[in-house]
Amino acid sequence: MTRLMIPALMLIVAASCNAPAPAPEAAATVTKTPYSIKPNYSSDFEPGKREQAQIVLDCWRYYDNNTIDSITQFISDSIEMTMPGMPTMKMQRDSAMAATKMGRGMFSSVKSEIDVVLPLQESNKKDDWVLIWGRETAKTKEGKESKRELHEVFGFDKNGKINRLEQFEIKQ
């Protein structure tokens, strides 16, 4: 009897290998968007402009070196800023630079490390963005050290100037 079971099992296995696979359930519910939730802004991005990524890196370097005035050349006439713990503010360039100087003035030194800088362009709207991830170590004038992980999103206007900055932080 066991001699008959082995060939019978082999036939069952062979038959099941040739059977068509059942259709996945997801195939029945095809949608026009590639994601199950439609993003408010877009999900269609392509590589952006490297020179804009360099602008963002220069801004980080100028902030570290406390040469904030050098950043002014990259900022649009007005900029919308969202910083941790603060409401979104639309400011004129001079006011934004004054606020940045005041914030940087709390520290005697700042050292940043960059993990990723990613220039992107939205495919349909042609809006330019640069995303950056890194960490910052800062010392107050009293010598107290603070560290934080940063993610920033920079938006650029049609003239290649920064018109939006969103900052996200994790304090260590």
160-169 per-position pLDDT tens digit: 999 999 999 9
| More confidently predicted of 74 and 13 | 74
CA dihedral 89, 95, 118, 60 (to 10 degrees): -130
Q: How far apart are CA 56 and CA 114, in angstroms?
A: 11
In the structure, what pLDDT confidence band is assigned to residue 10 with cuts at 50, 70 and 90?
very low
- Whether the predicted pLDDT of 13 surpasses 90: no
pTM for the model stands at 0.79
| More confidently predicted of 59 and 11 | 59
Q: How far apart are CA 70 and CA 95, in angstroms?
A: 15
End-to-end CA distance of the chain: 70
Q: Is 113:65 a contact under the CB 8 Å cutoff?
A: no
pLDDT at 3: 45
- In the sheet with 162-171, reading across from the earlier edge strand, the strands are 45-47, 107-122, 128-140, 145-156, 162-171, 75-82, 89-92
The pLDDT of 131-137, averaged and rounded, is 98
**Sign of torsion, CA 147 104 115 170?**
positive
